[in-house]
Amino acid sequence: MTSEIIVEAAAVSKRFGTRLAVDHLSLEIPAGVCFGLLGPNGAGKTTTLRMIYGVTRPSSGTIRVFGIDIARDPRAVRSRLGVTLQQNVLIEALSPEENLRVFGRYHLLREPELSRRVNQLLDFLELRSHERLPVRQLSGGFQRRLAIALSLMNQPELLILDEPTTGLDPAVRLALWSRVRDLTATGTTVLLTTHYMDEAQRLCDRVAIISGGKVIDEGAPAALIATHLAPETVELDCTPEEEPILLGGLALPLRRRLRVGRRVMIYLQDASSLVEQIRHRDQGDRREMVIRPANLEDVFLALTGTSLEGGQ
């Protein structure tokens, strides 16, 4: 049985003057998954999100959310989704509890339901210890938790998170990851953009890799890695002149080899034999090598030649 499709984008393009920000992009996002949009700055991720939640109109193509054409009836769609923007939008003079109450009234919530949801979200995002402090006194991590809490006030069926953990310390990131997992476990569909590959691999059931406004590949993280690379990666510094000496004619099947400046990444099934052969050829030089699993950033590099953190 086919899962319900929550978001369907069909050949969507968006121009800003002469610049084509999104180029005939097509996506289908099923219900109850965490779906990630990955790509460097300028790839078209945020523009795509803005079209999905109805702030930006496509230049061509159609977007349907919950089966509704967002361009024709944006109000019907927005009542069923929540959005956390890259920049927090909070009333800094008010406390987290007061912010939640104000936002709840925007959604026409009345007592006792308003208080029930406020208390539920203060507990869910672990804001209880700071619930009465002015927002301006909160750390960046607590402000981000509150921003996500506001986007959950209307119990959305679709939650859109635009780079939700950028700039946060690892402990806060882990706490927010846990909340996102809890949401998808109870049936909420989550659509997020992120630059963090560990975030995408831990949270996302599926990802779409975007470059130049186009989807260049899509799938489950593990499936994309298996399709384009191999499970193990060896990284080392090696000049182009050294490369034929160290890596030429190796007696093992290398799935792929990529270079970024002095850094070479080699992808293969088993790294141990490769490391032994490089050590043997290196004439006693104990060159530092890193052995690690292949990841989504490697996939992006293999497909586009640019890293996720860099520009195009």
What pTM was estimated for this model as a whole?
Answer: 0.88
What pLDDT, on a 0 to 100 scale, did the predictor assign at position 309?
A: 42
Domains of the chain, each with CATH number or no CATH: 1-80+156-219 (3.40.50.300), 92-155 (no CATH), 225-304 (3.30.70)
**Nearest Cα residue to 177 out of 155, 211, 210, 203:** 203
Which of the residues in the chain have pLDDT under 70? 1-2, 283-285, 306-312
Q: pLDDT digits over 265-293, tens only?
A: 999 888 888 888 888 887 666 788 999 99
Token couple for 113? 């339901």
Residue 264 burial by Cβ neighbours in a 10 Å radius (0-12, 13-18, 19+): buried
As a whole number, the mean pLDDT across the chain is 89
- 33 Cα distance to chain centroid: 13
Task: Answer for the pair 46, 162: CB distance below 8 angstroms, yes or no.
Answer: yes
Q: pLDDT digits over 100-128, tens only?
A: 999 999 999 999 999 999 999 999 999 99
Task: Answer for the pair 7, 54: CB distance below 8 angstroms, yes or no.
Answer: no
Token couple for 61? 């193509």
Residue 235 sits at the vertex; the CA angle it makes with 233 and 241, to the nearest 5 degrees, is 130
What pLDDT, on a 0 to 100 scale, did the predictor assign at position 273?
A: 84
Residue 184 DSSP SS3: helix
CA torsion, points 34, 40, 42, 45, in degrees to nearest 10? -10
| R_g of the chain, CA atoms, integer Å | 23
Angle between helices 113-124 and 96-106 (to 10 degrees): 130
- Tell me the residue type at 203: L
- 200 Cα distance to chain centroid: 5
Report the C-alpha gap between 48 and 52 in whole angstroms. Answer: 6
Report the C-alpha gap between 12 and 24 in whole angstroms. Answer: 5
**Whose structure tokens read 């109109």?**
57
